[in-house]
């Protein structure tokens, strides 16, 4: 079973995986189904890591939107037909950089 530190490192790793393809830009994201799928899959993993992190750990780091990450994972998995690429791009472009910084701060703290 993975512990909280491993899950935080997973989030960091999957942010980096997404960043490899985000640099290609918004146009490429909308035109390339493989990149869309890659990014959505990695967001799903981030959400699962968030969901599985202990409540005690989450309480120690309330600055993260733990529930939002888990909720988006649930949307991807259970209501995949409602996934809006515009929302995905918005998350990747605006929320992921903030999350990356927060995760890096947590990793320095633990």
Judged against a pLDDT cut of 90, whether residue 37 lies above it is answered with yes
> Which of 43, 49, 46 is closest to 85 using CA atoms?
43
Query: What are 19-29's pLDDT values in tens digits?
Result: 999 999 999 99
Query: What are 86-110's pLDDT values in tens digits?
Result: 999 999 999 999 999 999 999 999 9
Domain count, the chain: 1
Handedness of CA 96, 10, 48, 27 (dihedral sign): positive
The pLDDT of 26-40, averaged and rounded, is: 98
How far is 74 from 44, CA to CA, in rounded Å?
8
Handedness of CA 4, 7, 13, 18 (dihedral sign): negative
Its domain, for residue 41, covers 4-109
pLDDT attached to residue 11: 98
How many residues are there in the chain?
A: 110
Quickly state the pLDDT bin for 1 (edges 50, 70, 90): confident
The pLDDT of 28-47, averaged and rounded, is: 98
pLDDT attached to residue 7: 98
- SS3 at position 24: coil
Q: Residue 49: exposed, middle, or buried by beta-carbon count in 10 A (0-12, 13-18, 19+)?
A: buried
| Residues taking part in catalysis | 73, 78
């Amino acid at each position: 079973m993975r512990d909280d530190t491993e899950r935080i490192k997973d989030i960091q790793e999957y942010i980096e995986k997404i960043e490899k393809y985000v640099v290609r830009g918004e146009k490429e994201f909308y035109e390339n189904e493989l990149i869309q799928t890659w990014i959505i899959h990695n967001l799903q993993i981030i959400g699962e890591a968030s969901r599985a992190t202990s409540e005690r750990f989450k309480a120690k780091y309330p600055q993260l939107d733990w529930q939002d990450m888990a909720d988006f994972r649930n949307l991807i998995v259970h209501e995949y037909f409602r996934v809006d690429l515009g929302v995905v791009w918005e998350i990747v472009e605006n929320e992921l950089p903030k999350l990356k910084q927060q995760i890096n701060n947590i990793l320095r703290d633990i």
